[in-house]
Amino acid sequence: MKVVAINGSTRSDGNTHAALEIVGLGLVARGKEHGEDIEYTIIDLAKKKLNPCRACYGCRDKNECIQNDDVNEIFKELHSADGIILGSPTYFSNVSSRMQMFIERIGIINKTNGELLAGKVGASVAVARRQGANVVYAALNYFFGIAQMPIASSTYWNIGLGKEKGEVKNDEEGVKTFENLGHNMADMLCKLRG
């Protein structure tokens, strides 16, 4: 089985990446308990070429966008995955502009091509220094909610706190929440797609 996580941060090695790594460790470990090898990949949007949606609907019935950037390649990865995690830092009490652009681009490809992502398990990951991460958590889950994707949850909303790179690892409850999110996502994947 395969899970692809998207890091919407400007910092490829920041707290969003660290949080996604923690989720991945929990996911792979619980997968093994079920006898499943879960392949886990993190894609950093900061390293990708990504333009805004042009609202041209040129993607309709083509399974891809007409724009020549990295979105088609990433969409193919998502299409071949069993689970998708969207991770974003909190920027002014919302998702990063990169993540919003990404959601708009893949969302419209998905919608105009017969809902290619339906049935995959989704999970959201948000980090913040202090406030606004609930908005991010909700915004990411809205995507899964319109894509017919069941959403994995945890013992708390999937939020970690930290400002400087790596600080999220000191948020004990956040770390537990992310680990458990990985466990629950693996359970769901094995029940729904194993």
Ligand X SMILES: Cc1cc2nc3c(=O)[nH]c(=O)nc-3n(C[C@H](O)[C@H](O)[C@H](O)COP(=O)(O)O)c2cc1C
Residue 149's alpha-carbon distances to 44, 93, 122, 145, in angstroms, are 22, 25, 6, 6
Q: Interface with ligand X includes 131 (CB under 6 A)?
A: yes
For position 102 contacting ligand X by CB under 6 A, the verdict is no
Q: How far is CA 179 from the centre of its chain?
A: 15
Q: Which residues contact 168 (CB under 8 A, 6 or more apart)?
A: 15, 18, 19, 127, 160, 161, 162, 174, 175
Q: Residue 162 interacts with ligand X (CB under 6 A)?
A: yes
Residue from 91, 102, 143, 144 touching ligand X (CB under 6 A): that is 91
In this chain, which stretch among 29-37, 76-84, 99-107, 130-138 interacts with ligand X, using CB under 6 A?
Answer: 130-138
Q: What is the DSSP letter of 25?
A: H
Q: Does 47 bind ligand X (CB under 6 A)?
A: no
Smaller CB distance to ligand X: residue 94 or 112? 94
Distances (CA, A) of 139 to 36, 88, 124, 134: 30, 10, 9, 8
Q: Which residue has the tokens 């041209």?
A: 56
Q: Can residue 170 be called a binding residue for ligand X (CB under 6 A)?
A: no
Specify the residue, 31 or 174, whose C-beta has the smaller distance to ligand X: 174
Point out which residues pair with 125 in neighbouring strands: 87
Q: Find the binder of ligand X among 41, 51, 80, 93 (CB under 6 A).
A: 93
The answer to whether 128 contacts ligand X (rule: CB under 6 A) is yes
At residue 83, the 3 state secondary structure works out as: strand
Q: Which stretch binds ligand X (CB under 6 A): 32-40, 140-148, 162-170, 180-188?
A: 162-170
Residue nearest to ligand X (CB): 14
Distance of alpha carbon 70 from alpha carbon 2, whole angstroms: 20
> Is 9 or 67 the residue whose CB approaches ligand X more closely?
9
Measured from the CB atom, the residue of 122 and 162 that comes closer to ligand X is 162
Binding site for ligand X (CB under 6 A): 9-11, 14-16, 89-93, 127-132, 162-163, 165
